[in-house]
Structure formats: structure tokens, C-alpha cells
Amino acid sequence: MTGTGELFLGIIAFAVMIMALIQVGAIFAGLRLARRVDQIATQIDTEIKPLIANLTAMSSEAARAAALAAKQAERLDRVFGEMVQRVDETLSAAQEFVTPLSVGAIAGEKPFTDLFDQASEFDVGHIRLARDNDLIVVNDGATPALGEITWVTGRVLDSRGQPIRNALVEIWQCDNNGAYIHSRTGNREKRDGNFQGFGRFLTGSTGEYLFRTIKPVPYPGRSPHIHYAIKMKGKKELITQCYIEGHPGNEKDGIWKNIKDEKARKSVTIPFAPMKGSKIGELAARFDIVMGLTPEA
Ligand SMILES: [Fe+2]
């Protein structure tokens, strides 16, 4: 009996020891777990939270950038739309002043040309870089030219009235003070350095050209006019001028008077009228040019 009792007690003691050990192990495991939880919490604080803050900042930055880009795109769209509308309006306003096709512009051979200011004799210098179709602004100049802003448009047509593509339309005229960009120009000392004086436009499939320039002014001996040269591959260039309809100087202008045929004279004398919808008082003029009407000299 004693033997059995001892054995029983031994088993109990052993079980208690095992349980105690398990308990101790559990306490240690618990402590390790608590430490790990602590570490993770610290890691969350030191690494994850800043990361989240960064991501949040980045996403709001991205949102701001996207909003800015959208705003810029919208502005670009608006500006482009306005530009297209402006050109459309200009062309349709100018349409009101169409020179009848049957009349057309005559080819101005020598009688219609100032011999001294041919385009080929132009001074080079800054103008060489600025030969676009906007004569009001030279390159990126901040100050526009002096004068009444005029949109001059028209079509280059063949003798059957078909539009001519790839015709190079060149114009040149004096500035608002009557000075050309030319070494021998009159009024040299008054020359407006902000006027481009010369412009070029290559026609597309409609044969249409467009210049923004000033309403021509008189200079000693001449009624206001714009010089034109039309150049086409393999063809002799056409040189002519256009005049302002109703200008009193025309009747005294030797070159204008020398155009004896009234129909021909009318074809180069065009209205300069207020441009429809312009808030800044711009003018519009239309000058269609018909090639091949005047036999080549
Ligand atoms: Fe001239």
C-alpha cells in the first residue's frame, strides 16, 4: 500500500512539475509574443506610418498635378478653339468682299510694280528670320506694329476659277510711317521696327491665303497699296499690287491710272472694311488672284 501511495504521489508530483514547466514555457512564449507585438507596433510607427503619410502626400500631389494638367489642357483647347473660330470668322467676314471671279486680279507686269522695291532687293537682316504671314509681330516681339490691323485674305485661282495649291504668296508694303524695309526707302528715320514689312503664305488645297498686316498708307508719290508676288514651280512669277477702294489717292496715282481697262483696275482695288465681330476695330480685305489671265511678256 505504501508502495502504491508513493507511486501515486510520485505521479502527482511529476504531473505538477510538467504543468509548472508548461506554465513557465507559456509565460516565456507570452513574453516573446508581447515583445514581438511591441516590435511590430514600433515598426508600424517608424516605417509604415511615414510610408502611408508619404503615399498620401504623393497621391494628393498627383491629384494636384492631374488637376493642373487638365486645366492647362482645357485652356489650350479654349485658346485653340478661339483661334480656329477667329480664322473662320475672318474668312467668312472677308467672304463678303469677294472680288468677282470673272474679274479676278490681273497680272501686274512692269506698269504695276514699283521697280525699286521688288522682294528680291529686300534688305536682309532681322527680316530674314521673320517671313511668316503675321506682319504685325516680328519674331517674338512684344510690341505690335503701328497701324490699322487688317486681315487680308483671298484665293489663288487658275483661269478656270480652280484653286491653286502650293502657290507661294508674298506680300510687302511700307509701314504706318511710309517706310519700307529697304536700303533706299523714304522715311527711313521713321521706320517702325515692329512691322515685318514682308510676309509669305503657301496655299493649301483651297488656294486660300491669309495675312495679318496693316491697312496700307500712302507715301510720297503713291496711293496706299500692298505689293504681291505669286510664285509657282515652273511658272513665271506674277507681280501685282492691290489698292484701297474709294481712297482719294488712287486718282492721282500714276501706276493705278495706268491700268486703262476699268475691269482690270477694279479687280485690284478692294474694300478694306471693319471685320465682323472684331472688338479691337480690325479690318478685313479680300483679294483673289487669278493666274494666267495676262499673257506673259
Ligand atoms: Fe510700293
The mean pLDDT of the chain is 80
Structural domains of the chain, count? 2
What does the pLDDT average to over 228-250? 93
Single residue among 37, 61, 95 that ends a domain in this structure: 95
Same domain, 73 and 118: no
Q: 179 CA to middle of ligand 1, Å?
A: 10
Q: Does residue 6 belong to any structural domain of this protein? A: yes
Query: Is residue 297 assigned to a domain?
Result: no
Long-range contacts of 137-142 (CB under 8 A, 24+ apart): 137/194, 137/196, 138/193, 138/194, 138/195, 138/196, 141/194
- Structural domain contains residue 276: yes
What is the CA(225)–ligand 1 centre distance, in A? 6
Mean pLDDT across the stretch 264-273? 95
Cell numbers 472688338 label which residue? 279
Backbone angles phi, psi at 263, to 5 degrees: -65, -40
- Specify the pairing of strand 168-172 against strand 238-244: unpaired
Residue percentage of the chain with pLDDT more than 70? 79
Q: How far is the CA of 289 from the centre of ligand 1 (A)?
A: 18
Same domain, 72 and 153: no
CA of 117 to the centre of ligand 1 (A): 7
Whether residues 20 and 122 share a domain: the answer is no
Q: Output the CA 224–ligand 1 centroid distance in Å.
A: 8
Query: Are residue 116 and residue 256 in the same domain, yes or no?
Result: yes
| Within a domain: 234 | yes
Rounded distance from Cα 226 to ligand 1 centre (Å): 7
217 and 108 inside one domain: yes
Q: pLDDT digits over 140-191, tens only?
A: 888 999 999 999 999 999 989 999 999 999 999 999 999 988 777 889 899 9
86 with 223, same domain: the answer is: no
What CATH number has the domain bearing residue 122? 2.60.130.10
More confident residue, 34 or 97: 34
C-alpha pair distances (Å), 93 with each of 14, 156, 204, 272, 278: 112, 18, 20, 11, 10
Question: Cα of 47 to ligand 1 centre, how many Å?
Answer: 78
> In sequence order, what are the beta bridge partners of 185?
none
CA of 247 to the centre of ligand 1 (A): 15
pLDDT at 110 over 60: no
The per-residue b/e assignment along 131-150, b for 16 or more CB within 10 angstroms, e otherwise, is bbbebbbbeeeeebbebebb
CA dist., res. 106 & res. 290, Å (int)? 7
How many A from CA of 148 to the centre of ligand 1? Answer: 18
Report how far ligand 1's centroid is from the alpha carbon of 22 (Å). Answer: 113
213 CA to centre of ligand 1 in angstroms: 15
In a domain, 194, yes or no: yes
220 band by pLDDT with thresholds 50, 70 and 90 = very high
**Residue 88: predicted pLDDT:** 52
> Do 171 and 79 sit in the same domain of this protein?
no
What proportion of the chain, given as a percentage, has pLDDT over 90?
Answer: 44
Of 95, 122, 143, which marks where a domain is finished? 95
Protein residues with C-beta less than 5 angstroms from the ion ligand 1 = 114
Higher pLDDT, 118 or 287: 287
Same domain, 12 and 145: no
How many whole angstroms from 227 Cα to the centroid of ligand 1?
6
The grid cell for 212 is 495679318
Nearest CA to 148 out of 83, 215, 201 is that of 215
Tens-digit pLDDT profile for residues 65-90:
888 877 777 776 666 556 555 555 55
Of 72, 95, 118, the domain-final residue: 95
| 210 domain residue, yes or no | yes
**6-20 tens-digit pLDDT:** 888 888 888 888 888
| Averaged pLDDT for residues 97-122 | 34
Distance 240 CA to ligand 1 centre (A): 10
Q: pLDDT (tens digit, 9 = 90+) per residue, 115-137?
A: 334 444 344 344 444 678 999 99
Per the domain annotation, does 296 fall within a domain?
Answer: no
Structure-model confidence comparison of residues 204 and 94, the more confident one? 204
195 & 274 share domain: yes
Residues 20 and 150 in one domain: no
- Dist. CA 243–CA 268, nearest whole Å: 6
256/185 same-domain check? yes
Cα 173 to averaged position of ligand 1 atoms, centre (Å): 6
Please report whether residue 295 resides in a domain: no
The segment with the largest mean pLDDT, out of 103-107, 180-184, 281-285, is: 281-285
Q: Quote the pLDDT of residue 25.
A: 78
Calpha distance 236→229 (Å, rounded): 10
Which range (35-44, 139-148, 273-282) has the least confidence? 35-44
Distance 185 CA to ligand 1 centre (A): 10
- Residues spanned by the domain of 188: 100-290
Q: Let me know whether 57 and 112 are in one domain.
A: no
CA of 114 to the centre of ligand 1 (A): 6
